[in-house]
Structure 1
Amino acid sequence: TGPYRNSNLADVVRQDQDNPDVGAIQLGDFQFYRPSYNAPAAFIAGPIYDGSRLVGILAAQLPIDEINRVLTGSQNWQQDGLGDTGETYLVGDDLRLRSAARLLIESPEEYFGILRDSRIDPETVDLIEQLQTSLLLHPIETDAAKDVIVGESGTRIMPGYYGSDVLSSYAPLNIQGVNWGIVSEMALAEAYVPVNTLQNYLLLSIIVLILLVTLFATIVAQRFTRPIDLMVQFSQDVDNHEAIPDLEITERNEFSELAQIVNRMAQKIREEAATITSIKQEKESLLLNILPPLVMERWQQGETRVLDQAQQVVIIAIQILGLADSQAKVGANQTADALDEWVTLLDEQGSLKDIERLNCFGDRYVAACGLTKPRLDLIKRGVDFAQDALNLIKDIDQKHGLSLSLGIGIHTGSVTTALIGQKKFQYDVWGEPVSVASQLSQQTEPNTIRITQAVYDRVQEFFQFESGQPVLLAGNRSMPTWVLGKSGMSDLISQLTTGLGWGDEGENSASGNSPNPTNKEDTNKEDTNKEDTNKEDTNKEDNWL
């Protein structure tokens, strides 16, 4: 009944009142919102229950900056394969933008110049310039926008919303409460660059083929030089390491003796070439165990300084607990076999999720996602990978009769990667995500995943988290953390100990207690002492890899 009763915030609240089911979420489309000085805003709302009693409705404004960050790849269009002219944007059922235009972000002056030269109302252009947003203001009356609003999808060439021809791919978004579509476009001239390159390559290949045919015809015509030509061609084929039969010359003369000599030389060359190929394959296989494929290619091409900055990477640090106890229980050989099997299976799971192992040394395993291959869902992949690690260690424990457990820490952010050393090199990664993830893995409870706030913000809707103790960083900085489903982890720990015959001692170990537990006050003092040492440990964590 207030002054904003006709706003989209009021609409989404009324929709939630009309449908107050548990878990029912209502989403309202963007509209100009007076409390935000008429800036576009969209809201999402859901009921709040105390048991079975409805106590209220929670409404939140959708962050347009987060939508723009996802669609622009944090404004890294080229890394996302969109080149210099491509962009991805959302369009609503009113044929107007629901996200920022790329040109408005990169070159506002050029953007407003194009708008003023188009058929768009000058007042609308002035309003876009005043609000510094194209949301709800910039009309998109292209064929792609019209098709996607009626539920069609496709990829074809058509005029873009700036008037020039583009290669457009579009599809509707299945989001309850709004009728939006997503469109990805690139200038046709830029999209055709690979096609033109292929065309030039085929033309050059045809020219080369014609020259080879002409050369072959000339050789055939000169039959009196045939034995020499055969040996020349044979030598060239051997030099190219092609699998060909021995050279045969039927005449009994000097050419036949020369052919035998050439055949013996060719056989030695084949053997040496096979040896070199085998050594090269073994070398590449060894390199791939310590280097990502792209880094290995750059090193093989002679690049002496391999240094990169990765802006969005998730680091998964795993601390393997119980190695010494397991070795004392079943012996070093069986413990090593179990650890080898776990690392191999975990590497396979990582390959399926585009997660690369950075290091596996002693009782530590470190992996990363997004380092050489950008992924929009890299953080969820990292958490899924951590859960795979826990499931695998459970299977390994049951199979080999061990008592291994894991402490896992996850953090995300920017890191620096480099190939360090000349004769004995190492692929090193450093940055805050590495040190923080390492610190979390050492401070978390056994068989528990501990994440930072940055990770939690990106995956909270996919997993059940509980608030954890904050971690202390260098400079007395405190960072909040979250723990993935402690109750669920307790069930997992119980499953790990079931059937292994550990008795009371196994149960105490799985729950994080010693066989002779101390009182809670002593435990808290120990935790406090551990956190006090974190300040010194943090400065060492960058060398953890």
Structure 2
Amino acid sequence: MLVLTSVLSSIVVGYFGYRSGTQALEDSTRSRLQDVLDERASRVSALINNVSGGVVLDSQGVGPESMADFSSAYNQLARGTVNPADTAALTRYYNDYYAPRLQENVGGEINAEAFIPTSPARTYLQARYTVKATTETDTSRPVSDVDDAGDGSAWSAANKKWNPYWRAVRDSLGLDDVMMIDTEGRIVYSADKGTDLGSDVDTGELRDGALESLWREALRSNNRDYVAISDYESYQPAFGRPRMFVASPIGTGGDATGVLVYEVSSNAITMLTTGSGRADKVTGLGETGESYIVGTDGLLRTNSRELLTDPKAFAEQMRDNGASEETLDKMLRMKLAVGLLSAGPDVSEVAKQGDTGVAEMTDYAGHQVLAAYEPLDVEGLDWSLVATIETEEALAPVQGFARNVLLATAAVILLVCAISILLARVFTRPVGRLMNGVRAVAGGDLGTQVDAGSRDEFGDLATAFNDLSSNLAAKQELVDAQQAENSRILRSLMPEAVADRYQHGETTISAEHQNASVVYTEIDGFDAFAGKRPAEESLAMLKELSAGFDAAAHRAGIEKVRSVGTGYIGSSGLIVQRVDHVRRVADFAVDVARMVERFNVTNGADLVLRAGVHTGDVRGGLVGQGDMVYNLWGEAVDLAYRVRTVDGEPGIYVTDEVKEQLASAYDFEQVGTIEESPVWRVVLS
């Protein structure tokens, strides 16, 4: 009766609670999404309006005087001649720095020669500012805060006077650049000193673009308060990345002396729409949320979060949605979606109509999202701001609420049973913890600890178990450390492959090796040199030589047989078959000779190297009972040992067989014979 009453009561209360609760949660989610949208829209509108207001104020304030100084100075440079040294510096800059980065973004083949300045003023300015003061920013654009190139020109004097002010304007408004364009279309000043410094928007390389259009509009406006704004488009001096320009005339009507231009990157707007100050992190919209700007053409004006955070998944989604490979490749190269990525049919339609609302729709990646949208209050730009969050995440609180109602109902039904089960578990929990600990130790997880829990007998047993587990772990660490040390020592006494076989239980190891090479090296003079020094210093030098032997062996890829004092025996083609074993042992011997020379220079020593190399049949194996040593014997080993001293002088000596195989690699001179066969010494340069 209690269970039945509880079930009926829970169902009735849960039904009405579910109805009212889900509706309230849905309304709250939509309201929160709209609030985020309004806040982001306000930020974007404020930024663009601040930039617009700033360009008007500066064009009427310091603009006329600044324009006069730069225009006059630029005209002086324009009447000059091109310095061949400047052209050479710019040629290197455009070939080595500018063209590769532009090609990386836009793809295709870039002809750097087409961008190299030819006019005197542009060549002069870029050689002294763009090239000499170039660094890389997060957008890989050249940027210079140099106020004076120290060339004594009138332009540098004007830059020293005005550049700090315009740089402060650029930084305070978060701009990419501040430019001034004279009435002839020449960019007579740029705060960033990029490749657009000195360019011509009327007849030069920047014609037919947004910058030219704004320049003409501003000059024709005949209005001191006129502001012209361009939409984002690819800007070649920014390595093909999109830029927006805000311009205002300096002067009015027939008195206009030029145009002041503020350059805004897409990244600046993107960071506002994300709400986090970062282009790749969105705040206030959960795990799947995103806010972005869309133009009436349906293309994004800010970057895509998915493109920045997971380019591979983004590419797969775009291919599934039918995106062209050319456009996708460009987005992935630049990690930029501005002006390239379509917002999708649903979002594009509301942006085109300039609608406001909240609705479920499909976004650019094919996700089902809950989207809030509204047009931006920016004169001259037909943009809409969209804030989205995947429907599943947006409605997760509703689903969670329904789940909680069901769980609450079930909890009432099972309450009585749960109480009895919990009481039983209270008594068995300590035993369960101990059993889990025992299983962990049995599985190899030594050192496992369990919670003692209480101070009764179970607690004492848990404490004893923890002590046992800790002791086992400590002993295992000692065993592992000893095994590692034994393995290291063993590998220092014999080749690694032989050491592995010995560790696996083989005690009788021998083999015959055909066509292997052996090198005997010995450094003379160390005892006399080191005998005059303290034991610690002598030991350090001996370790340095030993380390040099091992490093040379590693570089040449030869196998160490053994080393004694300043002597070293190595082989190639013995354990690991190699077709170039002769060359390897010779390279090793030459490398050791260089090492000895460096040691002499560093330590003021006069050590010399004697080395012998021969190739042929070799036998090797473990020798000894208590102390196992790997040894080599055979004719090749004997000759390699004997040729070292055939001339009585230090050097690297090889038999005739070795010389024949190395004739093209080293120079040799004959120094004697052994068993009627010539012996050759390697001539070191």
TM-score between the two structures when normalised by the length of structure 2: 0.36
Q: TM-score, normalised by structure 1?
A: 0.44
- Return the structure number with greater relative CO, CA threshold 8 A, min gap 6: 2
Q: Based on CA coordinates, which of the two structures has the bigger radius of gyration? A: 2
